[in-house]
Amino acid sequence: MPLITYREAIRHALSEELDRDPNVVIMGEEVAQFNGAYKVTEGLLAKYGPKRIVDTPISEAGFIGAGIGASMLGVRPVMELMFWSFYSVAFDQILNNAANVRYMSGGQINCPIVIRGPANGGTNVGATHSHTPENVLANHPGVKVVVPATAYDAKGLLKSAIRDNDPVFFLENTVLYGEKGEVPEGEYTIPLGVADIKRPGTDLSIITYGRSVLHSLAAAERLAAEHKISVEVVDLRSIRPLDVDTVLASVARTHRVLIVEEQKPFASVGAQLAFTIQREAFDELDAPIHRVTTVDAPAIYSPPVEVEQLPNPNRIFLEALKVLA
């Protein structure tokens, strides 16, 4: 399989879905003439024209609202947020309207919209541009939340998201855009709500998603090399729906759990996971569940300090040793 970047994989998914379905359109700030703030949509305006690749004003409330309205009439908009931090400007549109329209209409109206863009720290853009809102989004019934870690997953999951009849919030990572991975040239999709075991193991389950998957794999390699510890790395891929069965099966194999996420610790996705595991698999646990999260403070602007604020391979390595002590 060819090696392509995470950015290119997303672009391929968009292009294939634009070819497949004439109702798919892309809307967002600078997605057309500027080729995208992160060059994800590079070349799409020239190929598909301004009626399908649409530059919008700098008004998330305005263009997200327009996309939701269009989706209720049969269009399948893919909306790009320059930063997911700006979702709060369109909170009412996303989480009050899009999330509830099918329920409020008694199933008569779907809202097949995808909202995508980066949601991460690690790029030194400060506290107002570094949010990871997957926990807030997933708290609302009626939506789906996806956080891909690899180029392969990003393409397959995005194609499924575009075809889904519910609102799908697709959270990417700026740091991952240049990461390369093997991606098939042919058609494939990955179902939403199915986790993936990125590395099998027997001594410890690391449950994670997004960029933290790569950090967890690096820590797992070090644990194996230095301590002969066999670590299983479970990539959730989807936050909602959540693949609880794969998580619990991993816990039953290893009996020890470390949850790793680029979220603040209070009321995070990891907090929900810890509750679910102890409720459903308490007798399988041979040690308390541990967590590695972002240190509980606004995103730190200093580059070297931000590295330590976020999960990193060394922090994961040290916490894994504590779980196994």
pLDDT tens-digit map of 9-48: 999 999 999 999 999 999 999 999 999 999 999 999 999 9
| Cβ neighbourhood burial of 251 (10 Å; 0-12, 13-18, 19+) | buried
Q: What is the mean pLDDT of the chain?
A: 97
| Residue indicated by tokens 């329920």 | 103
Report, as an integer, the average pLDDT of 93-119.
97
pLDDT tens-digit map of 118-174: 999 999 999 999 999 999 999 999 999 999 999 999 999 999 999 999 999 999 999
In angstroms, rounded to a whole number, what is the distance separating the alpha carbons of residues 247 and 108?
34
pLDDT band at residue 3 under the 50/70/90 scheme: very high
- pLDDT, position 186: 86
Residues 43 and 55 sit within 8 Å (Cβ to Cβ): no
Enumerate the active-site residues.
Answer: 60, 129
pLDDT band at residue 324 under the 50/70/90 scheme: very high
Report, as an integer, the average pLDDT of 216-243.
98
DSSP string of 55-76?
E--S-HHHHHHHHHHHHTTT-E
Please give the model's pTM, rounded to 2 decimal places.
0.97
Spell out the domains of the chain, with CATH numbers in brackets: 3-182 (3.40.50.970), 196-324 (3.40.50.920)
Q: In the numeric block, which tokens belong to residue 151? A: 């180029």
Residues 102 and 111 sit within 8 Å (Cβ to Cβ): yes
In angstroms, rounded to a whole number, what is the distance separating the alpha carbons of residues 9 and 150?
9
Rg (CA), the chain: 19
Cβ-count burial 49-72 (b if 16+ within 10 Å, e if not):
eeebbbbbeeebeebbbbbbbbbb
- pLDDT, position 1: 86
The count of residues in the chain is 325
Residue 91 reports pLDDT greater than 90: yes
77 - beta bridge partners? 25
pLDDT tens-digit map of 239-288: 999 999 999 999 999 999 999 999 999 999 999 999 999 999 999 999 99
